[in-house]
Structure formats: C-alpha cells, structure tokens
A and B are shown apart, each in its own frame.
Chain A
C-alpha cells in the first residue's frame, strides 16, 4: 500500500497488474500508466493525458476528492467522497471508458463538463443539489451507454450515435441535448427523462424510441433544416409543457401532441404534409390564457391545431397563425375548437377557382364531446400570405378588398358571417380579416364577395300596433321619423351588426325595424340575429326593402324562428323550421297560424278586420322587457304627447296618446314566451 506519490522530475511507470492505491497524487512530470491507479485522495496532474485506468475511489463522507480535468483513457469514480470536477477551462475527457459507481456523487462546477468518447456507464449522481452538470457523448463511433445514474445535462454530439445497453436505466433530469447522432434506445434498454426536462434537438439527431417521460417536458428544435419529430415528443396523452421551434425550417409532426403551456415558433410546424386531405396528426394546445408565439412571418402551424380550453375573457383564441383565431363573448355550448389550415392549397371543393389558395377548416365540439356543426356564433379571424409575385403568394391576383370568408354548404360556397374589410401587412406579407357571426363549422374559403351565396328566409308577420284597415301603417316612415340606423335599444342591440347598418333612403312601405332571430334550441343553443324591416303588407324584408331576409353565414338546418320588435312581444315558432336553399321559397307567415307558434293564440292578439280575424304580434311592451305591466303604463303616461320614434308609441303612429295607452292596457299582463 503506497500512502503518497509525489512525482516531480522523474517518470513513474505503472503497468501490468500493479494496482497502486494512493492517498494523494501530485505530479509535476508525467505518469505513464498501463495498469490501474486507484486514488483515495486529491489528485494534481500537470500532464494532459493519462493512460490506463484511473479510479477515484476515496470513500469517506464529508470530504471532497478533487479530480483534474485531463484526458483519461479510462476513468472511474467510486466511493462516497464527493468527486469535485471544477475546472471550467477544459473538460474531463474519457477516451475509452467513463464510469461512476452507484452512490458516488460527482460535483461539476457550472460550465464544467465531462466528455465521454467511449463507453459511459453512469451509476452515480451528478450535482444532486443543482440542475446543471453536463456530460457530452462525443465519440466518433457508436458509443455505449448504460447505468442507472443521474445526468443533469446529457449531450449527444456523435454522428454515429449512442446505443443504450444493459437495460439502460439512467435519468436525464434537466437537459438532453441531441446535436448529432441517434440516441438508440428501446423499451428494453431505455432511459428516463426527469420532470420539467428539456430536450434540444437538431435535424441531425434524434431518439430511436420513446424514453420514459417525466412530467412537463419541453422540447426545443434548433439548427438548420426541417426536423421530423420523433419520440422526443411524448404522445398527446402526455402533454408536453412547451415546444420551441427555433430551427430555420420548421418541424414536421409525425404524431399528435399536446402542448400544455407554451408554443413558440420561428418556423412552421406541419402536422400534415403533401397532398393528404385527411390529416390525422393534431397539435393540441391546452393553455387557456396564453396563445402561441409566432416570431417570424413564416411561422405557423400547417395542418390541425386544436384548443380544448377556450379563454373566457372574450379575447381571441389564436390558432395556426397570428391571424387565425376564434373569438366569442360567450362560448355557449362550445367546448373545443380545431382549425385546420393548409397554406398554398386551393380549396378542393367545386367552384373554388376564384379563391385564395388556403384551406381553412373549423371543427367544434360541445362540452360533452359531441360534434358541433352549427350555431357557433363566433368571430373567425383568418389570414393568408399576400406576397404578390412570390411563389408563396396565396392571393392569386384576386382583389383583396372584395375577399370575404365563405363556407361550403351542401351545394356551394355561402358567405360565412359578415366579413370585415381585409387588411394587408406588406412588411410581413400577410393579409387578414375576420368574419362576425360565423355560425357553422366546416370548410371555409376566402373568396370574392359576389361569389358567395346566402340562405334566405321569407317571413311575414303582423304587428298589432300599426295595423289599421287591412294593412299596417307606415306613418313613421312617411313622417321621416324612422331612423336610418336601428337605434341602440332592444331588440336591435341583439344584432351585433346594428351599428354598421344604415339605410338611406329608407325603402317605401316599411313600417319599422325588426330583428329576426334563428335559434338551434328554444332555450340556450346558438343564436343568429338579423335586422330587417317589416313592411305594410306584413312581409319581413331585407335592408333593400323588398328581398327576403338574407342570412349570411347561416348554415342550412333546422332553426326556431323568432321575431322581435321594440314594443311588441316577441314570438317564436313552436317547432324548428327547415332552412335550406331548396325550401327558402316558402313563406313563413308567423302570425297567420297561431298553432305554429310557441304559446299558440296566447302569443298573439286577435284583431277584427272586415268581419274576419287577423292575428298579430301583441303590442304594448314599452320597455321591451317581455311583459306588459304597470311599468309600461307608467311610461306611457310619462311620454304622453311625445312625437317621433319612441317606444311608448305602441301604435307606431308617431305620437303618444291614450290610444297607445290602450294598446298596452288591452294587453295587460301578457308575457312573451320567448326566453332571451
């Protein structure tokens, strides 16, 4: 047993079966080792390399064993003494073998690292108190990797990759950086990722099989070229905390993932590529309050993106790019949304010749997971690449101001909601807009306004108040008191487009403004509102005063049809009405047959007209609260003699007299059955 070797100007030779055990090693010269040096004390070496096997084996608790950072042929660490690797100027290099024993602690200073160019058998623990401590696998041929130790930072920078052997079992707790080479693992020979670990990947590296994932994993893609995702991303059942796409060309997802907190893109993510029209890979973004960060104009998610937690603060829920979002003040029954965006792709439906080359698809599910195709009532933001003359241009020469959002229905493209005028940001090469009142999910396109079709509804109803001698009086219009914009009172405020409506001059024969409402359910469900006119003959017409009410963005389907007026009780059909292009020529005379209405005759007022009975909407609801009561009568007395467009003018004559009072009085205690 040798207690101490001091090497100054002489040469020490170790070889064969010699196994010197040193309490301390201090060398000012060179040591040539062909055997094994076991050091149970501190070591100070001036030489750069040391052959043979060197074992740092001090085994005493509470003391440190300092380890010089030189190139070892074979270096092993054992014993309970903490092994101190503190040299940040150079790495400790193991050319053939790096090994640590179970229970051995390696203390690496911040910036210090171990470079293994051969086998690495790590049973010990690196920096149990800290999250750093890097081990680099940097061999030139495939390296073996095993042991059940704890790595803080493990880097693979070996084009030939590394093979996990002997069952693997080690853990990478903080960072697994894959620069070059494949980390070949398998279910039998695997490793574990710690909670909140980060995987950094380039296009030249990867993992062969799924490791044992910890929680809250983050993955960062760096470098050049397109990266195809691999097992570094856990399946969607195990949400990844964050994904950073920082490489220059983006990432192709090969399987569905879920991102819990953060999604940062400097380049695109593809969930589908090529001409596949039935992509099945989905990127699910779980964060409610935060949206993905797009750090480059080219950064977007190409393919499917789903969001399962919709923010309730009324702010947009951003999807595939900064301009694609869904926004709603109330989500109603909507529980999840998914957008599928395919840039540079002409919609594959017929009649798509004059469309922007971008496919947009929206899917929605209710809170119980049932598919929703109608009744969404959301604002849908959409954008496309506007790069005139460039290959990536999607506008395709179409006039941007005339482009609106359209939705494919059974037989054609219909305007989807009410599109805002598109904006163009030439600095980033995007054009964008939004459409309000998008009620249906499905396939969308961005096309010319004139190419859009819309459902129409032929509706008729009689209002009690203005009905006189066989028709309704248009006194307000004749006196010039009918406003050109519906006033900001109920029910006109139901229509979010109200402020943008202005009809000048007002069409002939219009009696007043009304609001047509379409509901998917009698209570709850989605609502669609459309402001229209009621004419003297009872027809409910669009803003041109003659056409049936157009319902842009409304999908064909079954709807309860309700009609609202500012001082008449609202009515609604008892059963849904089928709205479709092939049935829209049929006139729905709401007040003609009380049995068609919810509440039957109780929801209408009978009027005499030359010996026959006319049914009409019940007048007299001055304050528009859906019930006719003392408050209405009080308001009527307060507003006596007032002329103009006023709610107490229940007969719509233009002046408030006791005649208006009597309309209300005669309908005392009547209540609408239409639930707001």
Chain B
C-alpha cells in the first residue's frame, strides 16, 4: 500500500512535469501510407511508440486523417480494418474504421471529409493493452477502398487541429486523488506527437524492352521496371512494317494488363520487376517485319510510352549449316540453324551419290541452332562426303523445302 501511495504521487509528479514541460511527447503516433498497389485501394498503418514512462495501458482513441478535397464522389469510399493487423486484442478493443464525407447525423454541422479509426477499449486497467516502452506497435492497418473501382486518394494528412479531431487516452492504473481515479481514461493528445509517413512515389522507370522471335510465328517480348509509380499495368501495340519502308501500319493492341494478368503493374513500387509477354498471334506473316510499342497506364488513366522494338518473322528454312572439324576422322559435329519449325532430314552421301548414312529422318525440329555429333561408320573409307540437310516447313506454305549441303573430308 505504501508503494502504491508513493507511486500515485510519482504519477502525479510525472503528470505535472509533463504539464509544465509539455514538450516531450509521451507517445508518437505515426500514420504510414503504404505504397498503393491498385488504384481503388489504399492502406494506412497506424503505428504507435510509447515514449513516456507515466503510462502503460492504452485506453482508447480517435485517429483521424483528412481526405483531400479533390476526390469525388465520396460515397464510393469505404474503410475496413485489415484482419489481424492490430496489436490490440480485438476481443477487448473494438476498432471501428470510418470514412466520413457528410455529417453522420443529418442536419448537424460539417467540416472536412476524413477517415480513420475509433478505438474503444476496456473499462478497467488490468484488461488494457500494456504498451512496451519505445517499441513500434501497429494499432491497426486501415484499408480504404472504393466500391466502384475509382481511384482512392493517397495524399492524406492528420486532421488538424489535433485537439479537435484527435483523441488518445491511456488507462489510469490507480487513484490520484482528487483528479483521477483508477480505470479513468486520461487524454494525452496535447502531449502526443503525430507523424505522417506519406507514400513515397518513385520515378516510373522501364528498361530492357526486347522482342525475340521464338518460332512458330511467336514473338517473346520482355522488359523490366526499376521502379513504378501508380502503374496500373502495361499495354503492347504491334505494328506491321512493310518491306523496304519505314512506315508502320496496321497497329493492333496485342495485349494489356486487363486481359493479360502478367502485364498488371505493381502500382507504386521501389523495386520493380521483370515482365514478359508472348505474342502468339498467328496473324503475323512470314517474311515480314513487325514492331512493338510498350505503354504503361497510370492509376489516373494516363498513358506513358516506353519504347519500340521490331522483329522479323522468318520463313521456315535452314539458314546455316557446317561441320566441325572438317576434315574429320572419327566424328564431326554438324551445326545448323533452323529459322522455324521443320521436319528435318540429314543424310550423308559419298561423291558417287551413294547414301552412306541417315543421321536424321524427317524429325520435327523447332526453331533454333543445333549441333549434332555424327560418328563416322567403320566401313566408311577416306574421302569427300556430302552431308545434306533437307527441311520441310511445318507451317510455312510459302516454302516447299530448304536444303543445305556440307562438303566434309574424311581422313583415315
């Protein structure tokens, strides 16, 4: 009891000291506006750090941020608490997010549109949440979203005057007669520090936009972002570039973030990521050049251009063939490049036209560069041979076949 008595007076002195000093915050409340991933949702963390020693248990509070006046209509906005986001025991504390754009009671006065959280706490000190000293704790993560998909604002600020909009009370442990009783809720707002960590919006950087033909009239497009700002997603436009001209015609949107989930942006991101898209549209014609434009679309709908790459759609032919070593003794490696998918036959003939060996017979081979080791049969005598590659296009009616003959010298 004696200790309790002394403690009571100590608390009184501490309260008094704070009143007199009134400079050292006894708690710091920080609203952190998290990077926005999608335009219709914004998340805000309400963090608290206890700095004073005169209190431990949190009682209740009204945490209120102002919404910018620019956004309308307000009626589409709602707020919710992200489940599990609060350090508070929600079986004891009741957290009520709010978004207000008009008087909650008709006919009453009105100042500003605002959002925030009202936290109701327990009635007694033992049930209150003890806040460890100098530890950052999250009171809750508020999710602001629009019901119609329209963008929500991110330019938030603490509502001022603080003494008007904000409230923050701690639980009184014991009687400090005649001012307070145990379990009273003691307001701290005048000794609080309110900080705001706004959402940092980096530059929107897109690099390494490339287009690669991968066969079968498919083009692989890839790019990378170093950081993103309010990026809903990307949009790809394909142009046909007729032979021997610089003109681009017949543009078509081949992909956007709404149809291709892989093109969805990160919203606001410091890190960025790699993106890729495979243009498998069969409308492309062989022997023609195509160019791709890369655009991104911001939350507000603004289009941002990030570059152009062009690529040729080849015929399905053998575009390269050779052996190495040549001359050879026991084996040689046949290297060749197929511009697209073919049925490939590789045969070896002597100078008399006699087939010495069939290395490959009408095997379907996709676009690519290949190397094939061919071992010389024991019965083969020294001499000059023709290694003949015949490719039959699988999907290129403009070419009947393509052939490549490699002269190779066998030495015994």
Contacts and interface: CB of A to CB of B under 8 A. Distances in A.
A608 B164 contact: no
Interface string A660-673: 01100110000000
B109 A662 contact: no
Given A641-B98, A659-B167, A665-B184, A654 B109 contact: yes
A402 B193 CA distance: 60
Contacts of B369: none
A100 interface: no
Interface residues of B, number: 38
A657 B62 CA distance: 6
Contact of A608 (B16, B60, B61, B64): B16
6 contacts: A610-B20, A613-B179, A639-B105, A657-B167, A662-B59, A662-B186
Contacts of B178: 601, 606, 613
Contact of A662 (B96, B118, B167, B179): B167
Interface string A628-669: 000000000101111111100000011101110110011000
A286 to B, nearest CB: 53
B185 A666 contact: yes
B185 A662 contact: yes
Given A610-B20, A643-B103, A666-B184, 14 more contacts: A475-B164, A608-B16, A610-B19, A613-B178, A637-B120, A641-B104, A642-B108, A643-B109, A643-B110, A655-B111, A657-B165, A661-B60, A662-B60, A666-B185
B180 interface: yes
A587 interface: no
B162 to A, nearest CB: 11
Contacts of A601: 178
B108 A644 contact: yes
Contacts of B120: 637, 658, 661
Nearest to B94: A637
Interface of A: 468, 475, 479, 481, 601, 606-608, 610-611, 613, 637, 639-646, 653-655, 657-659, 661-662, 665-666
B105 A642 contact: yes
B119 interface: yes
Contacts of A637: 120
B169 A662 contact: yes
A606 B15 CA distance: 15
A659 B103 contact: no
Contacts of B180: 666
Contacts of B167: 657-659, 662
B361 interface: no
B104 A662 contact: no
Contacts of A607: 179
A659 B63 CA distance: 11
B118 to A, nearest CB: 6
B111 A608 contact: no
Interface string B94-106: 0010101001110
Most buried by A among B19, B123, B167, B169: B167
B166 interface: yes
B325 to A, nearest CB: 86
B19 A659 contact: no
Contacts of B69: none
Contacts of A645: 109
A644 B179 contact: no
A613 B119 CA distance: 30
Interface in B24-64: 59-62, 64
Contacts of B169: 658-659, 662
A376 to B, nearest CB: 39
Contacts of A606: 178-179
Contacts of A657: 62, 64, 118, 165-167
Interface in B365-389: none
B118 A640 contact: yes
Interface string B148-189: 000000000000000111110100000000111100111101
A535 B103 CA distance: 28
Interface string B1-32: 00000000000000110011000000000000
B24 to A, nearest CB: 17
Contacts of B111: 643, 655
A644 B105 CA distance: 10
Contacts of A643: 103, 108-111
A659 B98 contact: no
A641 B110 CA distance: 10
Contacts of A662: 59-60, 167, 169, 184-187
A637 B105 CA distance: 13
Contact of A658 (B98, B103, B119): B119
A643 B108 CA distance: 6
Nearest to A481: B109
Contacts of B165: 655, 657
A582 B109 CA distance: 45
Nearest to B100: A641
A665 B182 CA distance: 12
Contacts of A659: 62, 167, 169, 187, 189
Contacts of B59: 662
A653 B104 CA distance: 17
Contacts of A641: 98, 100, 104, 118
Contacts of A658: 60-62, 118-120, 167, 169, 185
- Give me the 9 closest cross-chain CB pairs, A-B, nearest first: A644-B109, A606-B178, A659-B167, A662-B185, A657-B62, A644-B108, A657-B167, A658-B167, A643-B109
A611 B16 CA distance: 6
A478 B22 CA distance: 25
B307 to A, nearest CB: 50
Contacts of A611: 16, 19-20
A645 to B, nearest CB: 8
A653 B163 CA distance: 9
A52 B79 CA distance: 123
B261 to A, nearest CB: 39
Contact of B103 (A481, A613, A642, A654): A642
B367 to A, nearest CB: 66
A275 B105 CA distance: 67
A662 B123 CA distance: 11
Most buried by B among A637, A641, A665: A641
B164 A655 contact: yes
A223 B16 CA distance: 91
A464 to B, nearest CB: 11
A398 B184 CA distance: 63
Most buried by A among B19, B103, B185: B185
A600 B103 CA distance: 40
Contacts of B185: 658, 661-662, 665-666
Most buried by B among A644, A658, A662: A658
A286 B103 CA distance: 59
A479 B64 CA distance: 19
A422 B181 CA distance: 57
Most buried by A among B20, B108, B110, B166: B108
A41 B110 CA distance: 107
Nearest to B121: A658
A610 to B, nearest CB: 7
A606 B178 CA distance: 6
A456 to B, nearest CB: 33
Nearest to B62: A657
Nearest to B12: A608
Interface string B56-87: 00011110100000000000000000000000
A653 B103 contact: no
A564 to B, nearest CB: 23
A640 B163 CA distance: 15
B108 A646 contact: yes
Interface string B180-214: 11001111010000000000000000000000000
A646 B167 CA distance: 18
B232 to A, nearest CB: 33
Nearest to A473: B163
A184 B90 CA distance: 103
A205 to B, nearest CB: 74
